Amino acid sequence: MASFGWKRKIGEKVSKATSQQFEAEAADDKDLGGDDDATWVLAAKRRKEVLLEDCVRKSKELKDEGANLAENRRYREALVKWDEALQLTPEDATLYEMKSQVLMSLHEMFPAVHAAEMAVQRNPRSWDAWQTLGRAQLGLGEIALAIRSFQVSLHIFPMNPEVWKEDLSWARKLQEQQKATKTESVQALAKELVQESIPDYDFESDEIVAVCAAIAEKEKALSAAKTMVIVSASGTVETVTEQDNCPATPDETLFIRAR
> Which residues, in sequence order, are CB contacts of 153 under 8 Å at separation 6+?
127, 128, 130, 131, 134, 160, 163, 167
pLDDT digits (tens, 9 = 90+) for 182-205: 777 777 776 776 666 555 555 566
Eight-state DSSP code of residue 196 = S
Residue 227, amino acid: T
Domains of the chain listed by start with CATH number: 42-194 (1.25.40.10)
Query: What b/e readout covers 84-106, taking b as 16+ CB neighbours within 10 angstroms?
Result: bbbebbeebbbbbbbbbbbbbee
Least confident of 36-40, 174-178, 210-214: 36-40
| Predicted pLDDT at 182 | 79
Helix/strand/coil for 243: strand
Q: Which of 142-156, 180-194, 210-224 has the highest mean pLDDT?
A: 142-156
Assess whether pLDDT exceeds 90 at residue 4.
no
Helix residue spans in the chain (DSSP H): 16-71, 75-88, 93-105, 109-122, 127-139, 143-156, 161-162, 169-195, 206-224
Q: At what angle do helices 127-139 and 109-122 cross, to 10 degrees?
A: 160
Cβ(153)–Cβ(138) under 8 Å?
no
pLDDT digits (tens, 9 = 90+) for 9-33: 444 444 555 555 656 665 555 554 4
pLDDT digits (tens, 9 = 90+) for 56-110: 899 999 999 999 999 999 999 999 999 999 999 999 999 999 999 999 999 999 9
Q: What is the mean pLDDT of the chain?
A: 76
| Predicted pLDDT at 52 | 74
> Which residues, in sequence order, are CB contacts of 1 under 8 Å at separation 6+?
none
| Predicted pLDDT at 155 | 94
Task: Please state the pTM of the whole predicted model.
Answer: 0.56
Assess whether pLDDT exceeds 70 at residue 231.
no
